[in-house]
Chain A
Amino acid sequence: MLNTKKTMAFTHKSLIRKLTLMTLLVLTAVMFSLPAMSVESLRGDDPLNSHSVKVGKYKVKTEEGGYERNFKKQPPLIPHKIDKYRITLKNNGCLKCHSEKAYKKEDAPKVGDSHYITRDGKTLKHISRRRYFCVQCHIPQVDSDPLVENTYENEE
């Protein structure tokens, strides 16, 4: 009796060992096959060991009068090229036309009033530092088709 118990315990143990080994094997197999199989971005699969698809060259669009907004409070899109204007710690090229001092004579839209308010609610004479880097929110558009189909409709 004692003996059989011992052997039973032994076989039980080896079974568990076998099972763990198998599950590990299966898991590793699954792990290695997964990235190749199912992980893919919306823009398609782009394996590391081959050249990526060449990106087309698109020209920045100029839109007289500016783009319409797609939803309320959307940061307005930039309707012109911006590669000549640089934003550095010393100077902000956008403000050459869009600042409170310049917008009238340049006939350009003025920077939004909210951009003169600090996070503590104080209204400044000049643009608030947290709004200084225009292209964090405002971007130009190129003449290209959307990369991914979407069904978004403009908010009324």
Chain B
Amino acid sequence: MGLFSKEGTLKILFFGFVLGIIFWGGFNTALEATNKEAFCISCHEMKNNVYEEYTSTIHYSNRTGVRATCPDCHVPKEWIHKIIRKIQASNEVYHKLLGTIDTREKFEAHRLELAKHEWARMQSTDSRECRNCHDFESMDFDKQEARSANRHEQATEYGWTCIQCHKGIAHELPEGYDPADDTPEAPKESDE
């Protein structure tokens, strides 16, 4: 009845399997717990600044009561992208400990830089998190106002992505940022 007997091997395999389930389940549960809005706003930096602003926008309160919570926009859904983002977020924990943005003034001072990070992330993924819900394919341009329909048609034609125009929709825009400098423009039609 040694450890390396047939029976022992089976025992090890069995316990390994059970432990594996427990550890993986625990890891996943912890990951899910950090992916809840309640976790995001357990820090005052988030609760008093970005969350507060978000509560007055359409992604928080609207006619049909569908909500996009913090992780819906800021954490990718797919596993590999999610893990990468979660590892990056350890930097946020570090700055939480340093107190980099622990007052409104400090937050406002860093706001443009932080916003630029998020805009760049969204642009690099073709606004993947927006497209979890919003899809050009499903958009009925006839139901939009003429001007929005025009702009969306241009966007599909020239390959623009959501975040290029829709900045500051869930949070205030940073001071010193003028969307007019940044929004894409349809190329001038060449004279033929």
Contact = CB atoms under 8 A, between A and B. Distances in A.
A64 B175 contact: no
B74 interface: no
Contacts of A136: none
Main secondary structure of the interface of B (DSSP, over half): loop
A106 B58 contact: no
Secondary structure type dominating chain A contacts: loop
Interface in A69-95: 80, 84, 86, 88, 90-91, 95
Interface residues of A, number: 19
Nearest to A96: B179
Contacts, number: 43
Contacts of B180: 95-96, 99, 101-102
B34 interface: no
Interface stretch (B1-9, B77-85, B89-97, B143-151): B143-151
Contact of A91 (B151, B175, B186): B175
Interface residues of B, number: 22
Contacts of A104: 185
Contact of B174 (A90, A105, A107): A90
Given A91-B172, A91-B173, A108 B179 contact: no
